[in-house]
Amino acid sequence: MTSTIRHPVLLRLLLACALLLCAFSAQATECIVPAKPGGGMDGACKMMRKVLPAKDGAPEIKISYLPGGIGAVAWSSVVSQRRGGPDTLVTFSGGSLLNLAQGKYGKAAVSDVRWLAGVGTDYGMIAVRSDAPYKNLRELVDAMGNDPGKITIGVSGTVGSQDWLKVAMIARRADIDPKNFRFVALEGGGDSFTALQANHVQVISGDASEAAAYIKEGKFRILAVLSEERLPGVLSGVATAREQGFDVVWPIIRGFYMSSHASDADYQRWVGIFDRAMATEEFKRQRAASGLYPFAMTGPQLTEYVRKVVEQYRKQSQELGLVR
């Protein structure tokens, strides 16, 4: 049997309770991934969802995906206050800092957001399908040099992105002009591995943490990691680019920022949450399981680090003729 509530006071009370319940349900922390699911930035949000303890003042984390412009859409949304409150975090990578340095976020500055925490370091990698004829990086580079237009390379972003730069730097070590290569712009690591599996591209330039997540499927072959030494874990058998005659190293920080409109109290609260979380053994286990390597920095120290890296990237991009 159904009935209709006719008493106006009771109706207003029920509506108020419903709004209050919605407010409580909205208290979860939003972790914005500025890319499609499946990439390294997605992995960073998922890692911290497992680590951040609700009892320490960190609400339950829900993950939202806001792809577009390799981070530009998420950046603009937070800076303009369309998204982003005291419990909204946005994950970033070294590629985000490179795009910021190259002006791909428009008239953006390091000071437009609050840099919260760096939670690990990743490294670049080059991958092909497991049925590809290339067994190592040298064979791939030789094939690309012999017929640059035959092999399509998938990268996150366009010319000048960090994935593009990884390939360009390797090509230059072999005296090959990367401008002759065929690049396809994709939106994040998950998109890249999907395109590679479907053979829409024959090579991808991406990140080691992404490769670690996909290599177990047996569908891909990692030809090189761009680290100083071989990486531990599932990629321990993969040779570095240096070992194969290409002196290219590309470290990638992973971390989080929040809106500059967040109060000092909320910012300091989150800095404390990350400091305590990253001091735990569980965080170290989850970081290793995510394919990341030690790097822990928060607050003003991270802000200064980001400022220096962005300036370094800007100078490198100017030297390569990518920005004025």
Domain 26-122+252-319: state its class: alpha beta
| Cα gap 7→137, rounded to integer Å | 75
Q: By the 8 A CB rule, do 151 and 182 touch?
A: yes
Measured in whole angstroms, how far is the alpha carbon of residue 109 from the centre of its chain? 19
Q: What is the pLDDT of residue 307?
A: 97
| Cα gap 269→278, rounded to integer Å | 14
Q: What is the pLDDT of residue 7?
A: 54
DSSP 8-state symbol, 216: G
Let me know if 9 is exposed, middle or buried by CB neighbors in 10 A (0-12, 13-18, 19+): exposed
Q: Is the pLDDT of residue 24 over 80?
A: no
Q: What is the pLDDT of residue 59?
A: 64
- Over residues 193-204, the mean pLDDT reads 95
Strand partners, 115: 257
Which residues lie below 8 Å from residue 16, measured CB to CB, with a gap of 6+? none
Q: What is the pLDDT of residue 158?
A: 78
- Over residues 250-272, the mean pLDDT reads 95
Q: Is the pLDDT of residue 148 over 50?
A: yes
- Over residues 220-248, the mean pLDDT reads 95
Q: What is the pLDDT of residue 131?
A: 96
Per-residue pLDDT of 82-118, as tens digits, reads 888 899 999 999 889 998 999 989 889 999 999 999 9
| Cα gap 141→136, rounded to integer Å | 9
Residue 255, both tokens: 């971390």
Residue 170, both tokens: 């390797």
What are the extents of the domains in the chain? 26-122+252-319, 123-251
Place of tokens 């092909």: 128
Measured in whole angstroms, how far is the alpha carbon of residue 173 from the centre of its chain? 26
Which residue type does 192 have?
Answer: S
Q: What is the pLDDT of residue 242?
A: 97
Asked whether the domain spanning 123-251 has the same topology as the one spanning 26-122+252-319, the reply is: yes
Q: pLDDT grade, residue 234 (50/70/90)?
A: confident
- Rounded percentage of the chain residues whose pLDDT exceeds 70: 90
Per-residue pLDDT of 63-87, as tens digits, reads 999 998 778 999 999 998 888 889 9
Q: What is the pLDDT of residue 23?
A: 38
Q: pLDDT grade, residue 8 (50/70/90)?
A: low
Q: Is the pLDDT of residue 210 over 60?
A: yes
Q: What is the pLDDT of residue 209?
A: 86
Strand partners, 88: 30
Fold observed for domain 123-251: D-Maltodextrin-Binding Protein; domain 2 (3.40.190)
Which residues lie below 8 Å from residue 6, measured CB to CB, with a gap of 6+? none
Counting Cα atoms < 13 Å in the Cβ hemisphere of 254 gives 28
Residue 249, both tokens: 């190293």
Q: By the 8 A CB rule, do 87 and 108 touch?
A: no
Measured in whole angstroms, how far is the alpha carbon of residue 10 from the centre of its chain? 49
Q: How far apart are the first and last CA of the chain?
A: 73
Per-residue pLDDT of 117-145, as tens digits, reads 999 999 999 999 999 999 999 999 999 99
Question: What integer best gives the mean pLDDT of the chain?
Answer: 87
Kindly report the length of the chain. Answer: 324
Q: pLDDT grade, residue 215 (50/70/90)?
A: confident
> Higher confidence at residue 180 or residue 243?
243
**Is pTM, for the whole model, over 0.85?**
no
Q: pLDDT grade, residue 317 (50/70/90)?
A: confident
- Over residues 167-178, the mean pLDDT reads 91
Q: What is the pLDDT of residue 180?
A: 87
Query: At residue 183, what are phi and psi to the nearest 5 degrees?
Result: -105, 145
Q: By the 8 A CB rule, do 216 and 88 touch?
A: no
Residue 270, both tokens: 């989150």
Let me know if 65 is exposed, middle or buried by CB neighbors in 10 A (0-12, 13-18, 19+): middle
> Higher confidence at residue 217 or residue 32?
32
